[in-house]
Chains A and B, each alone.
Chain A
Amino acid sequence: MSTMKNLFRAREMPVFLALVLVVAIAGIANPAFLSAAGAIDILLGVAIVAILAVGQTFVIVMRHIDLSVGSLIGFTSFLIGDLYAQGYGLWGGLAAALGVGLIVGAANGFLVAYLKLPSLVVTLGALYIVRGIFNDYAFGRTITAAMVPPEVAWIGLNRLGGIPYLFLIGLSLVIVSGLVMRRVRAARDLYAIGSNPAAAELAGIPVARRVFGAFVLNGAITGLAGAVMLGRFNAANANSGIALELIVIAACVVGGVTIAGGSGSVWGAFLGAILLQAITRTIGALGIPQFWQQAFNGGLIILAIAFDKYLNSRVKTTTIMGSHND
């Protein structure tokens, strides 16, 4: 009984209900939307953003941000294909992708956590530097289907019980991270840091170490996600992953991971990513010109933030009597 109650009180519930609503509307208007093929299309499209949104959640929850993920995932997806083509094998490529992800994450984390530099500026710098190094490395070359490791291509194409493997990878990442974020103390610290960094420091939380760790983790996830991206598109070039960072942050925000830090969950971010993707598909299913798609997404994000603000203000007025919202 109480679990049911908790379930309906969860922050993620509105996002989930919105998702059900969107799918229902699309399904009534165009039954083909609900077909297996339609659903699989959504799941396949959502995998990359969903995975990156999980990593980004660790960072945003601490009231930080990581803008370098688009450049990083593009670089590592290219790297995996390129190293495979040069004979280093799948594992060589994955190790390099993980390594690059760790280095970028550690560099961001070091500057933000220990030098106390603003994460927006640091990761914006990293966005350019990584993209620059990547473009220099790629230099007009492209990764073609023949250069994609067959295992990666196989995972990108195949399904388990009708569900794409790429989506399952994202889902398992969410399940594991979701449990970690609920149960593991170091992960709970991230919420404390985001709610009030000074108080977290006073409470004995090793803030710098946690911030550093979260950036490194996000870097590692993003680095490895390069394989997912390569499997999804079966190709890569110097523009891979461009402008992905803002879509990822949008997914987090829609999913209730507030920019101000301290609240939200990986489940929310995951649902946010699926909702954005579902809306895109719904617009197609409803016969609205595809040109309206981005406008709808933008409107949806505004609704999500406004709704979140409304929820928060309601909480405030019920706990602190007579307090007003400004």
Chain B
Amino acid sequence: MIKWNLTWDKGVGLFLIFAVLLGSVLSDNFANASNLSFVLRDVTEFAIIALAMTFLIISGEIDLSVASTLNLSSASLGFLYRAGVPFEMAIVGGLLVGLACGLFNGYLVTKLGLPSLAVTIATLALYRGLSYALLGNQPVNELPEFWIGIGYGRIPGTFIPWSTILLVVLAGVAWFVLHHTRYGRWTFAIGVNAEAAKFSGIPVQRTKLTLFAMTGLMSGVAGVVYTLRFASASPDGAVGYELSIIAAVLFGGVSIAGGIGTMWGVIAAVLSLGVIRSALQLAGFTANSLLIVSGALLLISVIAPKITETLRTRTRAESKENIKKTIREVGNEKSTP
């Protein structure tokens, strides 16, 4: 018989199904092509960054600068394009800026040994400030039609936006690397106990540096997608995304203490939040209810495992008690202590 434990990430998967059903019941406009494609497009940047953030949080670190990195990458793209660089090269420039942001975070954390929470609060301000320094007050709005079409359009004949293909590919790679490669196992090992990982021969600092660099690069990718979707590069985009992304990752069952989490739990969580947002909006709820729902889900995601854990240890304690009783009874018969 297959033993099927209901873990949190599976619960989130079920929740996603529930959310889609709820959306379909609440509103007739939910399950049509244009809304589904809107939902998908709306979660893409979040999801791309969440993939990398999952690795980082599992390894016991955090990056609060992702939204600023996204925006700096977008601003650099716009800045380069305005300066006359071909658009394709400007995209590469934006991605490289994202990578550089991640490397800088990683350098400060791994080489100087500074706490990532404090470092990335600092670079949150730094990268945002550099966006303003690059673009000033003037957003770049005249982007090539072809690329905007890619950013906003769908695959002909379907409701699936082009950006979703990118997301699916990246998610597949992230899932494979996290759960089926050495790097993934290293990430978990570092999150469980960095000291022990170091003594097992895992290059802890180098792995962490790579994870920060990847998070920067993914934020850069999200920055490019963001620029194309809104057909604009502005200094004040994506403000406050960082906490929403972290909230989604945690809701997906990743432990903030590190060492625990699954990629598909996170993907289900990001999609659920997108679906719930759309469903609540269509059903006439305000954005406020979404805030309350997000917060409540986040709290439930840490409380629920705690409760099951407590219950489990209690049943274990009870069964231990039973064993002791049996031993005592048997012992009485055989008169051994």
Chain B residues, Cβ within 8 Å of A39:
none
A132 on the interface (CB 8 Å rule)? yes
0/1 string, A302-314, CB within 8 A of B gives 1: 1001100100000
Does A179 lie at the interface of the complex (its beta carbon under 8 Å from any beta carbon of B)? no
Q: Which residues of B contact A292 (CB under 8 A)?
A: 129, 132-133
Tell which of B115, B133, B256, B288 touches A120, judged by Cβ atoms closer than 8 Å: B256
Within 8 A of A (CB), among B97-121: 108, 112-115, 117-119, 121
CA of A122 to CA of B306, assembled, Å: 13
Indicate if A294 sits at the interface (CB-CB under 8 A): yes
Query: Is there contact, CB below 8 Å, between B122 and A125?
Result: no
Residue of A nearest to B291 (CB): A132
Q: Are B115 and A128 in contact (CB under 8 A)?
A: no
Binds B, one of A30-38, A79-87, A110-118, A196-204: A110-118
The answer to whether A135 and B286 have CB atoms under 8 Å apart is yes
Q: A124 is contacted by which of B115, B235, B293, B298 (Cβ under 8 Å)?
A: B298
B218 at the interface (CB under 8 A from A): no
Q: A117-B306, A306-B112 are in contact. Are A289 and B298 (CB under 8 A)?
A: no
Asked if A129 is an interface residue, CB under 8 A from chain B, the answer is: yes
B21 at the interface (CB under 8 A from A): no
Q: B306–A135 contact, CB under 8 A?
A: no
Task: Write the A227-244 contact mask toward B (1 if CB under 8 angstroms, else 0).
Answer: 000000000000000110
**Which residue in chain B gives the minimum CB-CB distance to A294?**
B129
Cβ contacts under 8 Å, A150 to chain B: none
Q: Which residues of B268-313 have CB atoms within 8 Å of chain A's CB atoms?
A: 286-296, 298-299, 301-303, 306
Given contacts A125-B296, A128-B295, A305-B119, contact A299 B126 (CB under 8 A): yes
Bound complex: CA A54 to CA B257 (Å): 26
B301's nearest neighbour on chain A, judged by CB, is A121
Contacts A253-B121, A291-B133; is A128 near B114 (CB within 8 Å)? no
Within 8 A of B (CB), among A126-174: 126-133, 135-136, 139
CB-based contact B132/A294 at 8 Å: yes
In angstroms, Cα B297 to Cα A128, docked, is 10
Tell me which residues across on chain A come within 8 A of B113, comparing CB atoms.
309, 325-326
> What secondary structure prevails in chain A residues at the interface with B?
helix
A53 at the interface (CB under 8 A from B): no
Complexed CA–CA distance, A130 and B298 (Å): 13
Q: Is B130 close to A, CB under 8 A?
A: yes
- List the A side residues contacting B115 at CB < 8 Å: 258-260, 305
Q: Look across to chain B and name the residue whose beta carbon is closest to the beta carbon of A67.
A: B243
CA distance A129 to B121 in the complex (A): 22
In angstroms, Cα B133 to Cα A297, docked, is 13
Residue of B nearest to A107 (CB): B299
| Residue B217 lies at the interface, judged by CB distance under 8 Å to chain A | no
Interface membership of A90, Cβ < 8 A: no
Nearest CB of chain A from residue B192's CB, rounded to whole Å:
16
Task: Tell yes or no: A88 within 8 A of B by CB.
Answer: no
Chain B residue numbers with a CB within 8 Å of A117 are 302-303, 306
- Are the CB atoms of B306 and A125 closer together than 8 Å? no
Pick the contact of A297: B125, B243, B286 (CB < 8 A): B125
Task: Tell whether, in the assembled complex, residue A124 and residue B291 are in contact, meaning their CB atoms are under 8 Å apart.
Answer: no
Whether A298 lies near B127 (C-beta < 8 A) is yes
Instruction: Tell yes or no: A246 within 8 A of B by CB.
Output: yes
Cβ B128 vs Cβ A294 within 8 A: yes
Q: Smallest Cβ distance from B199 to chain A, in angstroms?
A: 13
Q: How far is the CA of A325 from the CA of B123 in the complex (A)?
A: 24
Min CB–CB distance A116 → chain B (angstroms): 8
B114–A309 touching, CB < 8 Å: yes
Q: Would A301 and B299 count as touching, CB distance under 8 A?
A: no
Question: In the bound complex, do residue B127 and residue A122 qualify as a contact, i.e. CB atoms below 8 Å apart?
Answer: no
Q: Find out whether the CB atom of A136 lies under 8 angstroms from the CB atom of B288.
A: yes
State in angstroms the CA–CA spacing of A101 and B243 once bound together.
22
Distance A297 CA – B240 CA, assembled complex (angstroms) = 17
B327 part of interface (Cβ distance < 8 Å): no
The residues of B that contact A301 with a CB separation of less than 8 Å are 118, 121-122, 125-126
Partner of A289, one of B122, B133, B288, B295: B133
Within 8 A of B (CB), among A251-307: 253, 258-260, 289, 291-302, 305-306
Docked-complex contact A309 and B246, CB < 8 angstroms: no
Residues of A within 8 A of B293 (CB): 132
Would you call B295 and A296 a contact (CB within 8 A)?
A: no
Docked Cα-Cα span, A111 to B298, in Å, equals 13
Residue of B133, B257, B293, B296 with most partner-chain A CB within 10 A = B133
Least CB distance, A255 to chain B, in whole angstroms: 12
* A250 interfacial contact with B, CB 8 Å: yes
Within 8 Å of chain B (Cβ to Cβ): is A19? Answer: no
8 A-B pairs closest in CB distance: A298-B126, A295-B129, A294-B129, A132-B291, A128-B295, A301-B122, A129-B295, A298-B125
> Could you show 18 A-B contacts with beta carbons less than 8 Å apart?
A116-B306, A118-B257, A121-B256, A121-B302, A124-B243, A124-B246, A125-B296, A128-B295, A132-B288, A139-B288, A246-B124, A249-B121, A250-B122, A294-B125, A294-B129, A296-B129, A298-B126, A302-B123
